[in-house]
Amino acid sequence: MCRLFGSFSINAFNPSQYLFQDRCSLLDQSNANPSEKQAHGWGLAYLEEGMKVVKSPGTIFDEVPQFKNLAGNINSPIVLAHIRRMSNPRRLPRKRLISMENTQPFSVPDLMFVHNGAVNKPNGVDLGKYGTSVKGDNDSEVLFWLLVKKLEEEETLEKALLSMERTINATVEKGKRPFTALNMIFSDGKTFHAYNSYTYQPMKSLCSSNQGYYSMSYLIEKDNIIVMSEPSNQDDDWHILNNHEILSARTKDGKLSHSILRIHP
């Protein structure tokens, strides 16, 4: 159970407002509910002469100055941020799950990725040749490499997401929950995508409490698109990204365009 942020902009953009300035900023969301603290690592991915990822397995509440300094100095058309509350479907010792290898964002040269939720049977996911690429012990990295695999195999993003979800569904017996949520934000450096998929809503959102925990919210402005686990403020015109919907954005001729497509697993 983590908190996500993604921004896609026509020009270089600084995300400080949403990451630590607003009343329900990503930082505030991570500490809004004492029983649901996101205390197991944090990181940001952005464009700076290619994709750059900076992350820490430390508790963000102990590293607020570092987080604010990094976020405050980013100016990038694409920014992803992740604050982690670890999932542990394999029931592994805690020390195996808190490390740099287990900290998000995950990336390859042409893809940056953040995820919220849990894949309940990660050992059952067939990653093919990408099985040896997994470096950590967490289910989110398995999901990342499964997405990489499906994007390579399928003709369209829609087909890749459908195949990804069906692969995960096949890891459990019928009637059992294959995952809690596959909420993800990812980008290849040119396009931007946010996918919302969940099997249930365990509680209300942590800070604003006006939507379900596994819902996602987005804000469309003239030059920017913002996606977060929940709104960072009540002043802007936020919308809910519904279950099984993907928001995709790109720029063309200096203009930002977006679409929302419903995926039917």
pLDDT of residue 76: 98
Sign of CA dihedral 89, 244, 32, 69: positive
Tell me phi and psi for residue 242, to 5 degrees.
-80, 165
pLDDT at 37: 84
pLDDT of residue 89: 84
Do the beta carbons of residue 9 and residue 223 sit within 8 Å?
A: yes
Nearest CA among 45, 41, 142 for reference residue 100: 41
**Residues of the chain with confidence (pLDDT) below 50:** none
- Least Cα distance to 73 among 3, 9, 20, 8 occurs for 20
Class of 3-88+100-117+182-262 in CATH: alpha beta
Amino acid code (one letter) for 152 = E
Distance CA 92, CA 163 (A): 28
| pLDDT tens digits, one per residue of 21-40 | 999 999 999 988 887 888 99
Instruction: Tell me the pLDDT tens digit for each residue of 125-140.
Output: 999 999 999 999 999 9
Residue 64 near residue 80, CB atoms below 8 Å: no
Burial class (CB in 10 A: 0-12, 13-18, 19+), 212: middle
Choose among 223, 229, 216: nearest CA to 260.
Answer: 216
Q: What single-letter amino acid sits at 187?
A: S
Cβ atoms < 10 Å from Cβ of 216: 30
CA 76 vs. chain centroid, Å, equals 18
- How far apart are the two ends of the chain, measured CA to CA in Å? 22
